[in-house]
Structure 1
Amino acid sequence: MLLLFVDGLGLGEALEDLFPLLLELGPHPLDATLGVEGLPQSGTGQTTLLTGVNAAGLLGHHQGPFPGPSLRPLLAQSLYAWAKEKGLKVLHANAYRPEYLRRATGRRLLLSAFAQAARLAGLPLLPLGHPLALPPAFWEDPYGAGAKAAALAQAFDLVVLEYWALDLAAHREPESLPERFRELSGFLKGFLAEGGSLLLVSDHGNAEEPWHPHHTRNPVPLVYTGPLPALPRDLTGVFPLMQTILLPNLDKSERNT
């Protein structure tokens, strides 16, 4: 299956024009505020998604854009680590520029929670051009990128891809948001045409209100192409939901060993 993480996508009225495909998929709303004052941020939101632990509540504030050292022990016990420990085939599919990875070192690690969790679980961060990697955004052929993601999702028990271009555009180039939404829609159409299993989720709102560059307190969408075995209330429910969804794959893997 594919876990498609879309950075900075909340639920708002503008999506009727900007991203109608999402509404057709029937998103379930998740609370991204986690009971903490202030605007939700990527570092704590993504850490919560990956671990089931309220990272903002643990710190007492929202933290972004990258999780700091105090959150890394949590990320060492992420969805990636759980799935790998259970013997599932896991792929962090984002492609990275080599020069970016060379700079991503030190105490202030400039890597997202997803990349840090993948690295802590012993998964490689793949370079651009690797046959198993996908650029995380700005695809020349979004439909074809979605079809490739579907092929990868057939070959692995869990494929994770971070799409961060919406959040980037909302902060820096809001006039480009319609293009980014069209790109994401093309990717989803290419993936769904191949019949792949998809779970889409976000960490905080932003791009759904293109008239300002700030994060929002809006709920974020959860979309799953199969029947939801549970309806999480907030970001903490995504990790246990993923465990439940992946259990049939775990059973198959154990039977094949």
Structure 2
Amino acid sequence: MLFLFVDGLGLGGALEDLFPFLLALAPTPLDATLGVEGLPQSGTGQTALLTGENAARLLGHHQGPFPSPRLRPLLAQGLYAWAKGKGLRVLHANGYRPDYLRRATEGKRLLLSAFAQAARLAGLPLLPLGHPLALLPGFWEDPYGAGAKAAALARAFDLVVLEYWALDLAAHRHPESLPDRFRELTLFLQGFLAEGGVLLLASDHGNAEEPWHPRHTLNPVPLVYTEEAPPPPEDLTGVFPWLRTIITSKTNKSDRNT
């Protein structure tokens, strides 16, 4: 399957006009506030998604954009490490510029997202741009074709994860470009689903659905899964255990059929 993580996408606001394709997929709303005051942030929200732990409550506040060192032990035991431990073929598909990786990993602070940190802690490579298995994290020249490539990767691996951070970037810095980003995402999803790919889509906090301001929101975030599944979770911390159940069930069925 493809786990498409879309940074900064909430339900509500102007989403009906901006991203009707997503609403047609009947997303489940997830609480991103996790019972902690303040606006949800990427560092703790993504950690909650990947580990099932309430990272914001652990720290006592929402924290972003990058997870603090206190959260790394959680990430080291999260989705990537668990999937690798099950013997699954896992791909962190984001492509990175080599100069960005140097700056992000060689300074005093580790300037990597929770997804990138978790992949690294699990021993997965952070692929350079241009690698045959790498996908751009947005701004695709051919979004439909990028979606089709993601579907091909999802057939070759048990779990492919792609972070789409372009939406959150646009909402913070270039809100006038949000219609282009939503159109890009729509074409990507159409290209992926046309190839029969299994999609899991989730986000960490709201933002782009309210394009009239540059801040995060308190809105719930979407969860989409395109196959039959157990009852969905209610908040970000439920996603990892729920996904773990789905993957284990699929693996057991595959084993019985071989």
Partner of 2:101: 101
| 1:181 correspondence with 2:182 | yes
Partner of 2:170: 169
Secondary structure, aligned partner of 1:104: helix
Greater CA deviation, 174-183 or 102-111?
A: 102-111
Partner of 2:77: 77
State the distance in 1 between where 2:33 and 2:148 align. 33
- Superposed, 1:14-163 pairs within 5 Å as 14-105=14-105, 106-163=107-164
1:178 positional shift: 0.2
State the distance in 2 between where 1:100 and 1:252 align. 41
- Report the RMSD for the aligned CA atoms in angstroms: 1.4
One-letter code of the match for 1:163? Y
Question: In percent, how many aligned pairs have the same letter?
Answer: 82
Q: Is the 8 A contact 1:86 1:250 kept in 2?
A: no
Post-superposition CA distance 1:40-75 (Å, at most 9, x none)? 000000000000000001110000000010100100
One-letter code of the match for 2:104? A
1:107 positional shift: 4.4
Post-superposition CA distance 1:91-129 (Å, at most 9, x none)? 000000000111112441100000000000000000000
Q: How many residues align?
A: 257
One-letter code of the match for 2:146? A
One-letter code of the match for 1:20? P
Greater CA deviation, 13-22 or 205-214?
A: 13-22
State the distance in 1 between where 2:227 and 2:28 align. 13
Greater CA deviation, 99-108 or 75-84?
A: 99-108
State the distance in 2 between where 1:15 and 1:46 align. 21
State the distance in 2 between where 1:107 and 1:60 align. 24
1:232 positional shift: 0.5
Secondary structure, aligned partner of 1:5: strand
State the distance in 1 between where 2:257 and 2:134 align. 26
1:228 positional shift: 2.8
State the distance in 2 between where 1:85 and 1:255 align. 20
Structure 1 unaligned segments of length 5 or more: list them: none
Structure 2 unaligned segments of length 5 or more: list them: none
State the distance in 2 between where 1:150 and 1:24 align. 20
One-letter code of the match for 2:187? G
Secondary structure, aligned partner of 2:222: strand
